[in-house]
Chain A
Amino acid sequence: EIVLTQSPGTLSLSPGERATLSCRASQSVSSSYLAWYQQKPGQAPRLLIYGASSRATGIPDRFSGSGSGTDFTLTISRLEPEDFAVYYCQQYGSSPWTFGQGTKAEIK
């Protein structure tokens, strides 16, 4: 199975700053079948990005995804207070689908 490793484990930033989150796969993710989710405490995850770079419905354009093969990135161009949360990547190119362990974005 494909193992996804997210880095950093915790990202300490201030509102307005740019956030760059990494997701590295143990083998190539076919057809860039990679998604990103946001999860806030006590809530279900929310889909942000699918197909590595397509924003889900209703997701602000400050969120963007990029990458291919084994290296993927989620970028939040200017952090808003509501963006401080945990972010997970997920691959769906090779069964079983798998999630990364998460990156927590916290207020500095």
Chain B
Amino acid sequence: EVQLVQSGAEVRKPGESLKISCKGSGYSFTTYWIGWVRQMPGKGLEWMGIIYPGDSDTRYSPSFQGQVTISAYQSISTAYLHWGSLKASDTAMYYCARGGSYFHHWGQGTLVTVSS
């Protein structure tokens, strides 16, 4: 069974850094793209970017380029979403999902709250 298990909820202050994770199991981690999707409170879904763990090829939405970093470690079948300096506007639910086009399998989501 394909599973994507995300790290737990986080609370941070503006300006702090953060890395959240998404661990894949039940399939060959290196041969499927993994993507990240943002959902701000009460709002819709936003495509952030995707990574191919096999060679770390990464694509970003222009809206998120330079704002976050997507990475993956093959050896532990885990993808990451990293912020160097959080803003209050980064408060949202973040989902990882498998797929380079449409997303067939989704993680349970990680709630990130940024507040002073």
Contacts and interface: CB of A to CB of B under 8 A. Distances in A.
Interface of A: 1, 33, 35, 37, 39, 44-47, 50, 56-57, 88, 90, 92, 95-102
Contact of A45 (B49, B60, B61, B95): B95
A47 B104 contact: yes
A92 B59 CA distance: 13
B107 A90 contact: no
A99 B46 contact: yes
B101 A92 contact: yes
A56 B81 CA distance: 27
Secondary structure type dominating chain A contacts: loop
Interface in B3-32: none
Contacts, number: 59
Interface string B51-78: 0000000011111000000000000000
B48 to A, nearest CB: 9
B44 A46 contact: no
B101 A102 contact: no
Per CB-CB distance, the 4 closest pairs between chain A and chain B, nearest first, are: A35-B102, A92-B101, A44-B106, A96-B61
B45 interface: yes
Interface residues of B, number: 21
B45 to A, nearest CB: 4
A37 B62 CA distance: 23
Contact of A44 (B46, B59, B108): B108
B95 A44 contact: yes
Given A44-B109, A97-B47, A1 B62 contact: yes
Nearest to B46: A99
B101 A33 contact: yes
A98 to B, nearest CB: 6
B20 to A, nearest CB: 15
